[in-house]
């Protein structure tokens, strides 16, 4: 495809009918209505084609964007400081994205425990009752959330902020000694809070001594699952510059779908290639994308028609020159126009006007 044709298609590229979206201020107004069909298809396919392992990671991803959009975020601690947040639930072993939700601002859905609680609860509905282990950072963690997940046969693990409601009072900042290698666990029913050694007691929590919290090792092992997916998604990004955010969201969905497809190919036993010694040969993502592009294009390939002047067998170009005698122009004669010219080309066997020289040759080569 020519560059200009690609840019023209991209200029008029749309994914949904904007007239079907209710006006702003309406309760049914969808802020990502432009790409809602694509988002729904990708979301459904991600769930249908994969079953996650026991451990999953819940974290946020950023779509870089500095334009005007009402739900743009500013995160100074992130490499990408301006953009739109996307909550994601990914497999901790390979980074496969299983669930997504674009943060478009506050939702008018009635009373809720909090934004972090709602995000975790919404993304984990597809795993309800399946005994998965969900790892998250301190933005989402809270004792109340872990109790609710446990009632739903889901296990939560993550770092927790000391000012969270329900956190044991004996484990606040002033009670944490600086001695390394010493830890203490506080347990309340089925919840366990782990930190450094602290001799104080707190109401409802019982101190449990042990050699070291294994939960810390598990958290460090499984929490970086979403980072693997982000690396695959951003390694060969297809994003194009635009003033409209919904186009950035489309490219984000496209790159996520390709990265997850690559993960599925690696996980599938039927797609593994082995060497003569029986060693499994891993395919790189670049090779996978090249094969994917060929499959998408298929036989729909057409050579570009170059409007250039050909050369004769002697390698001489068809440049105009003075002819021995003025005669009627061949192109003008074919158009029933009587006009003479003293210019032409001997190998073309005829005279041509200077302005008719290029159209005559382009027409001749096109018909051939």
pLDDT digits (tens, 9 = 90+) for 51-106: 999 999 999 888 999 888 888 888 887 788 899 999 999 999 999 999 999 998 87
Q: What is the pLDDT of residues 91-101, one digit of tens each?
A: 999 999 999 99
Whether the pLDDT of residue 187 is over 90: the answer is no
Can you give the residue ranges of every domain in the chain?
3-22+30-262, 321-367
Tokens 């010219």, residue? Answer: 341
Whether the pLDDT of residue 309 is over 50: the answer is no
Task: Please give the average per-residue pLDDT across 305-321, as a whole number.
Answer: 55
Task: Provide the pLDDT for residue 161.
Answer: 86
CA angle (190 as vertex; 132, 135 as ends), nearest 5: 35
Q: Give the number of other CB atoms < 10 A from CB of residue 222.
A: 20
Task: Provide the pLDDT for residue 69.
Answer: 87
Distance CA 289, CA 302 (A): 21
Q: Which two tokens stand for residue 86?
A: 């996307």
Residues in the chain: 368
Task: Please give the average per-residue pLDDT across 297-306, as a whole number.
Answer: 66
* Mean of the per-residue pLDDT values of the chain: 82
Structure confidence at residue 231 as a pLDDT band (50, 70, 90): confident
| Pair type for strands 55-64 and 133-136 | parallel
Task: Provide the pLDDT for residue 109.
Answer: 54
Whether the pLDDT of residue 313 is over 60: the answer is no
Q: What is the pLDDT of residues 253-278, one digit of tens each?
A: 999 999 999 999 988 888 877 777 88
* SS3 assignment for the chain: CCHHHHHHHHHCCCCCCHHHCCCCCCCCCCCCHHHHHHHHHHHHHHHHCCCCCCEEEEEEEEEECCCCCCCCEECCCCCCCEEEEEEEEEECCCCCEEEEEECCCCCCCCCCCCHHHHHHHHHCHHHCCCCCEEEECCCCCCHHHHHHHHHCCCEEEECCCCCCCCCCHHHCHHHCCCCCCCEEEEEECCEEEEEECCCCCECCEEEECCCCCHHHHHHHHHCCHHHHHHHHHHHCCCCCCCCCHHHHHHHHHHHHHHHHHHHHHHHCHHHCEECCCCCEECCCHHHHHHHHHHHHHCCCCCCCCCCCCCECCCCCECCCEEEEEEEEEHHHHHCCCCCEEEEEEHHHCEECCCCCHHHHHHHHHHHC
Whether the pLDDT of residue 244 is over 90: the answer is no
Task: Please give the average per-residue pLDDT across 154-175, as a whole number.
Answer: 82
Task: Please give the average per-residue pLDDT across 12-40, as a whole number.
Answer: 89
Please choose, from the candidates 73, 85, 50, the residue with its C-alpha nearest in 3D space to the C-alpha of residue 257. Answer: 50
Percent of the chain topping pLDDT 70: 82
Task: Provide the pLDDT for residue 347.
Answer: 64
Please choose, from the candidates 330, 366, 367, 365, the residue with its C-alpha nearest in 3D space to the C-alpha of residue 345. Answer: 330
Cα distances from 95 to residues 141, 144, 146, 263, in angstroms, run 21, 27, 23, 8
Task: Provide the pLDDT for residue 335.
Answer: 86
Structure confidence at residue 211 as a pLDDT band (50, 70, 90): very low
> Is the pTM value of this prediction over 0.85?
no
Whether the pLDDT of residue 204 is over 90: the answer is no
């Amino acid at each position: 495809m020519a560059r200009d044709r690609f840019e023209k298609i991209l200029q008029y590229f749309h994914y949904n009918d904007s007239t079907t979206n209710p006006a702003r201020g309406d309760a049914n107004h969808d802020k990502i209505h432009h790409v809602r069909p694509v988002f729904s298809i990708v979301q459904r396919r991600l769930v249908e084609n994969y079953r996650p392992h026991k451990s999953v990671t819940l974290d946020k991803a950023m779509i870089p964007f500095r334009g005007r959009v009402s739900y743009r975020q500013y995160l100074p601690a992130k490499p990408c400081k301006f953009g739109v947040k996307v909550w994601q639930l990914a497999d901790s072993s390979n980074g496969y994205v299983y669930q997504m939700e674009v943060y478009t601002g506050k939702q008018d859905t009635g009373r809720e425990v909090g934004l972090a609680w709602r995000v975790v609860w919404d993304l984990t509905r597809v795993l309800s009752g399946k005994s998965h282990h969900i790892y998250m950072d301190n933005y989402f963690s809270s004792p109340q959330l872990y109790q609710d997940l446990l009632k739903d046969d889901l296990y939560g693990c993550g770092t927790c902020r000391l000012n969270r409601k329900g956190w044991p009072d004996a484990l606040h900042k002033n009670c944490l000694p600086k001695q390394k290698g010493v830890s203490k666990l506080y347990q309340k029913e089925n919840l366990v809070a782990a930190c450094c050694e602290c001799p104080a007691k707190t109401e409802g929590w019982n101190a449990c001594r042990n050699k070291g919290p294994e939960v810390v090792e598990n958290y460090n092992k499984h929490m970086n699952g979403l980072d693997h997916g982000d690396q695959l998604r951003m390694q060969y990004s297809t994003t194009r510059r635009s003033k409209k955010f919904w186009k950035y969201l489309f490219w984000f969905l496209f790159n996520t779908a390709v990265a997850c497809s690559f993960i599925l190919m690696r996980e599938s036993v039927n797609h593994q290639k082995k060497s003569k010694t029986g060693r499994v040969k891993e395919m790189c993502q670049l090779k996978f994308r090249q094969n994917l592009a060929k499959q998408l294009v298929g036989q729909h390939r057409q050579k570009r028609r170059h409007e250039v002047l050909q050369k004769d067998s002697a390698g001489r170009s068809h440049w105009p020159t003075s002819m021995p005698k003025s005669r009627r122009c061949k192109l003008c004669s074919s158009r029933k126009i009587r006009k003479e010219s003293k210019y032409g080309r001997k190998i073309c066997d005829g005279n041509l006007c200077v302005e008719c020289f290029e159209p005559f040759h382009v027409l001749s080569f096109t018909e051939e």
